[in-house]
Amino acid sequence: MMNVGLVCKEGNSEALALSARVFQWMRDNAVPCLMEDHLSAHLSEGRTLDVWRNADILVVVGGDGTILRAVRMSIPRRIPILGIHMGYLGFLSEVTENEFVKALEDMKAGRYTLDERTMLEVSLHRGDTVVASQSVLNDLVINKGALARIIDIEVWTDNAFITAYRADGLIVSTPTGSTAYNLAAGGPIVHPHVGALILNPICPHVLSNRSIVLPDSQEVIVVVKSGRESDRIYLTLDGQMGYPLLADDRIRVRRGAMRAVMVRFPQRTYFEILRSKLKWQER
């Protein structure tokens, strides 16, 4: 039988309580369960094997941020992820607290499919030095601190100049991430199986600047043209990791070789999740 890894948002009482119920179900149903150290300590289960090295599938309890952390940790082994969202559905999870027992029963019986999601490989270059490199599932965001001026940004693709933005920032999103910050900033919703990359300026100074959807076969290079240490301009990757930016820093973005693997159930479609989250009118 496969080893199930249990991952939970640390320090969140509701997530810990729900994780305890999930763990009890696994114990009652003889499902081998691994867990993170903080969760093991909370449940007084003693130290267990490393989740990221030994789990065959992950059950992640929490919001989309917790799932993004699990994706970042699990992609070297392509571990499938089943997200259980507390309260309403999350865009990355399709199982709510009230549905977790049925979902775990289906998971144990193999009644699920695997949905692969494209990720982006992002690298931050300062001169000849690579400052950071990471795969992201949702987006990378360039934005300013509270006192920063408007940011000047150039965007290139495959050695062709696209445009220069004067804006509060820029979002470069995957189709999966199109329903995250990109959507809040007025960007388009793109189905996660479309091979695309979305450029969306945040509060552009020129009102004619709009979102651009590019094929993800192209590499995008973002050049920060303004930026001093006192300006506090940052690059944030999937909302998890942040790096300060300086003038002439270059961010290279391309379709990554790694893919996130999500557990899906046939009874709920992507569009049902959209309708639920966005309160679209039902038929």
> Which residues carry out catalysis?
64
Residue 204 in 3-state DSSP?
A: coil
Residues 75, 245: contact at Cβ < 8 Å?
no
Tokens of 275: 């309708």
Residue 152 DSSP code: E
* 116 Cα distance to chain centroid: 13
Cβ atoms of residues 108 and 59 within 8 Å: no
CB burial string 104-139: b at 16+ within 10 A, e below: bebbbeeebeebebbbbbbebbeeeeebeebbbbbb
